[in-house]
Amino acid sequence: MMTVDLKATPKMNADHVSGHREYPENALSKQCRRHILIVFHTSLPEIKGGINKMIVSLAQGWIQRGHQVSILSPGEWNDRVWSTKQYGSITIHRQRLRVPWDKKNRLRGLLGWMVEFPQVIWKLLRFVRKEKVDLIHLHTPREYQYVIRVLRGLGGPPYVLTFHGTDALHFSKGQANHMPLLRWIARGALAITAVAKHYAALIEAHHPSLAPVHVIANGIPVSSNLEALPQTQPFVHDGPMASNPRLLSLPARFFIQVGWVEPPKAPDVTVRAWGLLQAEHPDLHVLIIGDEPFLHANEPYYPGYLQQVKHLASDLGCETTVHFTGGVHPALLTLIMRQAQGLVFPSHMEGMPYVLLEAGLAGLPVICSDIPAFRELIDHENNGLLFPRDDHEALAAAVNRLLEDETLGRVIGGNLRQKIVTHHDAATMAAAYMRLFQSLLSTCTGRGG
């Protein structure tokens, strides 16, 4: 496991990736200006989830330094024809990357793939050569990425694979679908990176051939998030913002939980904690902000889970103080954070969640489950509070502690904010990735163009 120091500036000469020479950003010649192709099933221009935010931050950071960035999204079933759109300075391409199997009809799936795959690989090969793509950046191992491994074998550019969170856990323990295919994709990468040290260690322990795994922590655009927002109080109640236009006043006192409404995020732990808190704090609310994740349209990842959690709130008698808001616009989320009493984060597993960086930048006190991901960022009682995983009584006690000691909340919130500003700026994250890419490419023979 190798850590790429986010505090290192482009002017430094000492590389933090062992065995490689660093190419300072301010000394790059024209030959060192790179074209990076990011491959991820992105929702842009709509930004959903931390990985989308990380990708946008990376792309913007690289473009500001004179590099060229394109994004290839595998698209949906109807994206058979290559399409291109512009998102600010980022060019987004969509192309269906079909796998050779079909759950509903194996023979039809195989025959369709045999016809489509040669056309797709030829399109990609022409694209990377015409656009002079230097390196492909894959995010989270996915079956469709076999196309990129084949592309590399045909003379395409090298690729780097980044693990973000639960993908690293499932991959390390062999719990992901189609593990032989994913391992083959990972072994073809020029390098493997992870956003957290504990996940890098897991990958190396279970897959020694992939070592070293380079660690580059996530970063957030510090300057743009420090800009002032209007101090109004819109609130979307019990429904996604796009489909429910009702705007209500925020409660006088409330905490928030932000993320997908799914078992790994453990919103049920928050609901149980609020069931305990209502006796002493009947006016204390919690906003559970986030959508239910879907595998495909009308096919949720966890069928019935959202309703189960809502029923739990009703059974505990706290349905009037526990609100499932659905997803909200990032600007609105920032404003809500500035008025909340704190953020609760009871997850079972995480990588380096962006919402925690956002909360920290807003100076919001945070209460997190005591898991490796949070221990990398949170120092208990210094810049946040930790509680044993799945212990709703401990979570309720931590919330009560912040309510009774406002000074503690201000201190730990301020300390976390300072840590985010100092160590987790998106600009330094983007520079760290580019230093790694430059170093890798300097030792890699050949290129896609």
Q: What is the pLDDT of residues 195-231, one digit of tens each?
A: 989 899 999 999 999 999 999 999 998 876 554 444 4
**Residue spans per domain, the chain:** 2-219+425-443, 223-423
Query: Pick from 90, 103, 148, 159: which is nearest to 124 by CA?
Result: 148
Query: What are 57-60's contacts with CB under 8 Å, separation 24+?
Result: 57/219, 57/220, 57/221, 57/426, 57/429, 57/430, 58/137, 58/426, 58/429, 58/430, 58/433, 59/89, 59/90, 60/88, 60/89, 60/90, 60/221, 60/426, 60/430
Strand partners, 254: 285
For residue 275, is it left (φ>0), alpha (ψ between -120 and 50) or beta?
alpha
Cβ–Cβ under 8 Å, residues 348 and 371: yes
Strand partners, 425: 220
Model pLDDT, residue 249: 76
Query: What average pLDDT does this structure show over 114-121?
Result: 92
Residue of higher predicted confidence among 198 and 270 = 270
Q: Enter the tokens of residue 248.
A: 């209500």
Q: What is the pLDDT of residues 7-63, one digit of tens each?
A: 443 333 223 333 333 334 443 444 589 999 999 986 665 656 678 888 888 999 999
Residue 146 has pLDDT above 90, yes or no: yes
Highest mean pLDDT (candidates 78-87, 91-100, 162-171, 274-283) = 274-283
* Residue whose entry in the numeric block shows the structure tokens 């950071």: 61
Residue of higher predicted confidence among 2 and 51 = 51
What average pLDDT does the structure give for the chain? Answer: 84
Model pLDDT, residue 25: 40
Model pLDDT, residue 330: 81
Query: Pick from 387, 237, 266: which is nearest to 326 by CA?
Result: 237
Cβ–Cβ under 8 Å, residues 439 and 445: no
Q: Which residue type is seen at 174? A: G
Q: Enter the tokens of residue 256.
A: 């928030």
Domain 2-219+425-443 sits in which CATH superfamily?
Glycogen Phosphorylase B; (3.40.50.2000)
Residue of higher predicted confidence among 140 and 47 = 140
pLDDT band at 4 (very low <50, low <70, confident <90, very high): low
Where is average pLDDT lowest: 272-286, 293-307, 402-416? 293-307
Cβ–Cβ under 8 Å, residues 376 and 357: no
Residue 389 has pLDDT above 90, yes or no: yes
pLDDT band at 447 (very low <50, low <70, confident <90, very high): very low
Q: What is the pLDDT of residues 358-378, one digit of tens each?
A: 999 999 999 999 998 899 999
What global pTM score does this model have? 0.81
Q: Which residue type is seen at 293? A: P
Rounded CA separation 347/285 (Å): 19
Q: What residue spans of 37-105 are helical by DSSP H?
A: 49-64
What are the Cα distances from residue 303, in Å, to 239, 309, 398? 18, 12, 31
The answer, yes or no, to whether the previous bond of 45 is cis (omega within 30 of 0) is: yes
Q: Enter the tokens of residue 223.
A: 């300057």
The pairing of strands 342-345 and 366-369 is parallel
- Asked if the domains 2-219+425-443 and 223-423 are classified in one and the same CATH topology, the answer is yes
Q: Which residue type is seen at 85? A: K
Q: Is 6 helix (H, G, I), strand (E, B) or coil?
A: coil
* Residue 195: half-sphere exposure toward Cβ, Cα within 13 Å: 30
Residue of higher predicted confidence among 417 and 104 = 417
Model pLDDT, residue 229: 40
Query: Pick from 114, 91, 95, 82: which is nearest to 36 by CA?
Result: 91
Q: What is the pLDDT of residues 394-427, one digit of tens each?
A: 999 999 999 999 999 999 999 999 999 999 999 9
Query: Pick from 376, 336, 26: which is nearest to 218 by CA?
Result: 376
Class for domain 223-423, per CATH? alpha beta
Query: Pick from 112, 175, 108: which is nearest to 141 by CA?
Result: 175
Rounded CA separation 8/114 (Å): 47
